[in-house]
Structure formats: C-alpha cells, structure tokens
Amino acid sequence: MFEIIAPLEKVTPEFVSELQSKIDFKTKPLGSLGLLEEVAFKAALLQRSLTPVFSNPSIIIFAADHGVAEEGVSLFPQVVTEQMVLNFLNGGAAINCFSNQHDITLKIVNAGVKADFSAVKHDHFINSPIANGTYNFALQSAMTAEQCLAAINKGAEITQSQFEQGCNVIGFGEMGIANTTSAAAIMSAILNLAGKQCAGKGTGIDDVTVSLKAKVIDEAINKYQLNDADTLTILQTVGGFEIAMMVGGMLKAAELSMLVLVDGFIASSAALVASELNDDFLQYTQFCHQSEEQAHQLLLTNMAATPLLNLGMRLGEGSGVAVAYPLLVSALTFLNEMSSFADAGVSESDE
C-alpha cells in the first residue's frame, strides 16, 4: 500500500530523551497534563521538532451513498446524503460552524453520492465520484476491486494536495446514509465479532431496525466468508467509497508524517482498516472523541486508542475533530510557552 516508516526510526534516542525532559520539567507535577502531554509528544515526534506547530489544519469530509440502504437499515432516505453535501457547501452544517470557529480549512469530497454534482462550482468542493453509490452488499460486493483501489488512491491524492498547501494536521469526516452499517460490517469482519456487537442506532433507528442491521451484517459475513478474508477484500465487499477514500487519505497522511485526526465510528472503521494494512499507522493518529454509537468504545479499545473527548456525540461530519482541535493547540502551547522549573526559578520535586 504505502510505505510508512515509524517516527522512532527517524529520530535519535537523544532527541526522544530531550523531548521527554522538556515535557517533564515544565512547572507542573510530572504527568499532570495527562493526554495533552501525549499529544505534544506525538506532534513533536512527527515533526522532529522540540517546538512543533500546526499549520493549515484541514478537515476533509468524504460523502458517498450505500446500496445496503435498500435493506431498510437507516432512518433517513438516501437523498439526505446529497442534501447534506449541499448544506456543507452552503455553510449550514455543524461542521461549518465548528471549523469556522477554529479557522480549520474544510473540504467536501463527492466520493460516490447518488446524485449529479457536475453543475456545482465551489472552491472547497472536490467532485470525484467513483460511482453513484455502492452496490447493496446484501446481494453482491459493495464495489469491485478496481473501484476500491481507485477510491483509496483518490483519498491519498487529496491528502497529498493538502500537504502541498502546507497542511501538517488533517482530520477525516464523512457523510453517507447507511454508512454505519458498512462501518459495523467492516469491524465485525476484521475483529471477528457478531453483528449485534457492532451494529448501533446510527441516525436514531429503533431496536427492531438495529436487529435488522445486525442480521444484514451477519448474513453478509457468512455469505462472503469475510472472517477469513484479507483486509482489502473486506473493504471492497462491505465498505463504502467514502470509507475507502478515508483509508487512502489516512495512510498517505501518515506517510507524510502528518498528524491524523480521527472522528467518530465510521472514521474509526477506516482507521481500523489502515492499521491492518500498515502496522505503524496508529502512531500517527489522534482519536478525537468517543462516539455515542454503541460499538465505538469497543473499536477504540481494540486499537488501544484513548480519545480526547466523550461528549455523547454521534453526528459524524468530522465534528468531533473540529471540537477537539483547540485541545491539540493547547498541547503545543504548553510545550512551546510554559516555563521550565529552571526558567521560573521554581523548586523541583525531590522525586
């Protein structure tokens, strides 16, 4: 896929020691800033700098439709995907509010919406559909191998473009009716879990529909024998174009030593795929929040991920990334601006 070299292979032990000492000898008890210290350490390591900075922060929203919506697994009709893309472009969604608040560049990608956007002209819109939605994976594979690879490569290309514009911290969000079903199916297949352990309420479906979603997932896993399949086959069979593009975008970001900011359940399923494709990938990630989607905690636990926030959110769109971003900035601010014990003339602990 993409050749990723772990950051610790590119920095000297002396740098790592100096960085840890810089964090430890700020005017605070050891470890007292918790996760902020971990974020600061990771960012500094990726940038190979004792004074790291975030430049041109970006969030990419990948939108696509899913044929499995035909099975009645979502509360909303598929046309909502198209409508929400237009809402993003008109600046009316939650992610617009949050990204504007924190001066985050927002890009919207048509990865495969069941709509024609050829007439839409917008500086922040990337119209690159692989197809008008995936196939219904209850009946056949969601996409062909060629489509899956095309989506992965397009995601990588989009990340590369952001990098060339000076971005070194990038968030991934999504929009797509029924995409929680695809995300849950990916999780179920890779982690060898039952559908009921992975299927949640998504857009707010009732318990009967959750059970239907779990049944659709279990039947697909059995039909295609996905518990014994390789990761790319799983993505191709039950995934979505937006998930595949996120996989490519995340892997390319890691290859470029960008900090990868992961949103909620669907984005985390893409991160799971990326982590299966490259063992070093998770070193480049920061999971921004724990979604209210019932399987997200289990998914995070499997990846040994500690999210920054738990606000009961389950919106998607990259909203968790945007809300968490100021905490990331705070992590770098303490590292770069906080006095050390020696600078401030404060006595250190005897321990």
The predicted pLDDT at position 115 comes to 98
Q: Mean pLDDT across the chain, nearest whole number?
A: 95
In the numeric block, which tokens belong to residue 253? 């970001």
The predicted pLDDT at position 2 comes to 52
The predicted pLDDT at position 341 comes to 82
What is the tens place of the pLDDT at every residue in 292-325? 999 999 999 999 999 999 999 999 999 999 999 9
The predicted pLDDT at position 1 comes to 47
The predicted pLDDT at position 3 comes to 55
**Residue 33: pLDDT over 80:** yes
Share of the chain above pLDDT 90, in %: 92
Please check whether residue 138 is in contact with residue 71, taking contact to mean a CB–CB distance below 8 angstroms. Answer: yes
- 58-328 topology per CATH: Rossmann fold (3.40.50)
Average pLDDT for 75-80 = 95
**Higher pLDDT pick, 349 / 265:** 265
Average pLDDT for 23-49 = 96
The predicted pLDDT at position 11 comes to 82
Marked catalytic residue, from 70, 317, 337, 348: 317
Average pLDDT for 125-132 = 98
The predicted pLDDT at position 346 comes to 66
The predicted pLDDT at position 6 comes to 59
Name the percent of the chain in helix, strand, coil, to the closest 5.
Answer: 50, 10, 40
Positive or negative: CA dihedral 296, 297, 298, 301? positive
Please check whether residue 239 is in contact with residue 182, taking contact to mean a CB–CB distance below 8 angstroms. Answer: yes
Share of the chain above pLDDT 70, in %: 95
d(CA 207, CA 182): 18
Q: According to CATH, what is the number of the domain 8-53+333-344? A: 1.10.1610.10
The pTM assigned to this predicted structure is 0.95
d(CA 240, CA 55): 30
What is the tens place of the pLDDT at every residue in 219-251? 999 999 999 999 999 999 999 999 999 999 999
Told to judge if 3 belongs to the known catalytic residues of this protein, a careful annotator would answer no
**Residue 329: pLDDT over 90:** yes
Show me where the domains of the chain are located.
Answer: 8-53+333-344, 58-328
Average pLDDT for 188-196 = 98
Average pLDDT for 133-142 = 98
What are the residue ranges of helices labelled H in the chain? 13-24, 35-47, 79-90, 94-101, 145-164, 179-191, 195-198, 207-224, 231-238, 241-255, 265-277, 296-302, 319-337, 341-344
What is the tens place of the pLDDT at every residue in 152-162? 999 999 999 99
